[in-house]
Amino acid sequence: MTASALVGYARTSTTDQKAGLEAQLRDLELAGCTKVFREEISSVATNRPQLAAVLEWVREGDTLVVTKLDRLARSVADLVAITAALKAKGAGLRILAMNLDTATPTGKLMLNLLGSIAEFERELMLERQREGIAKAKADGKYVGRQPTARRQAGEALRLRAEGKSPADIMASLGISRASFYRIVRSSHQG
């Protein structure tokens, strides 16, 4: 078994922020990081390749180190997802500016509090969404999303009768294999 490592992750939003990146790299080195992943990309980017790489690279017993929380996660929910990935691998997280380390009981408590707040926010949002839908239904303004495949059942059956292959039908109508065969089954039952 290999020894545990401190693994750093540094990120700046743009290439213009060289000083910020250099400061992060310096702080991560001073914290004892033996390997550092870095990228110059906005936190709102859906694909952060170096973050994905560091999450893949860390091993059991390792600790991911970042200088500040906003360098790692774009939201509390994002932080919860990242820490869940680390926990699944048996790795910890240390945020230098917050003096938060998930290897300590206080660090775990803080992280759990952040996760609970994120879950609470999500539940409130879903509750408001359900209330809005109920009001719209009561006002006769909400009909819901129509199932895509069922709307195209007639077209799918017509193409099948013309001898088109199931793959061609699914591709041309943009429906899944399961939806296509559900349409076929229901046409035999009806």
Residue that has been written with the tokens 């895509």 in this structure: 148
Say if residue 4's pLDDT is above 90.
Answer: no
Q: Which two tokens stand for residue 179?
A: 């939806």
pLDDT interval class at 161 (50, 70, 90): very high
Could you give the CA distance from residue 7 to residue 55 in angstroms, rounded to a whole number?
10
Last residue of a domain, one of 75, 105, 135: 105
At residue 130, φ and ψ (nearest 5 deg) are -60, -40
Q: Which two tokens stand for residue 2?
A: 């290999």
Residue 93 and residue 10 share a domain: yes
Give me the pLDDT at residue 67, please.
95
CB contact at 8 A, 89 and 60: yes
Catalytic residue from among 13, 43, 165, 186: 13
Do 12 and 95 lie in one domain? The reply is yes
Entry pTM: 0.62
pLDDT digits (tens, 9 = 90+) for 45-76: 778 999 999 999 999 999 999 999 888 987 77
What range does the domain containing 156 cover? 148-189
The mean pLDDT of the chain is: 87
Same domain for 86 and 157, yes or no, is: no
Tokens matching residue 186? 């229901």
The model's pLDDT over 89-147, given as tens digits with 9 standing for 90+, comes to 999 999 999 888 988 899 889 888 877 887 788 889 889 999 988 898 889 888 776 66
Whether residue 93 is found in the same domain as residue 156? no
Residues in a beta bridge with 38: 10
Asked whether residue 97 is assigned to any structural domain, the reply reads yes
Helical spans, DSSP H, in the chain: 18-30, 49-57, 69-72, 76-88, 105-138, 148-151, 153-161, 166-173, 177-189
- Residue 113 falls inside a structural domain: no
Between 5-19, 28-42, 155-169, the lowest mean confidence (pLDDT) is in 5-19
In a domain, 1, yes or no: no
Q: 96: how many CB neighbours lie within 10 A of its CB?
A: 19
> Which residues neighbour 17 within 8 Å (Cβ) at sequence distance 6 or greater?
40
Residue 131 is assigned to a structural domain of this protein? no
Q: Which of 140, 182, 123, 30 is CA-nearest to residue 190? A: 182
Specify the number of domains making up the chain: 2
Whether residue 187 lies in the annotated active site: no
* Same-domain check for residues 98 and 155: no
- Check which CATH number belongs to the domain holding 55 and give it: 3.40.50.1390
140, part of any domain: no
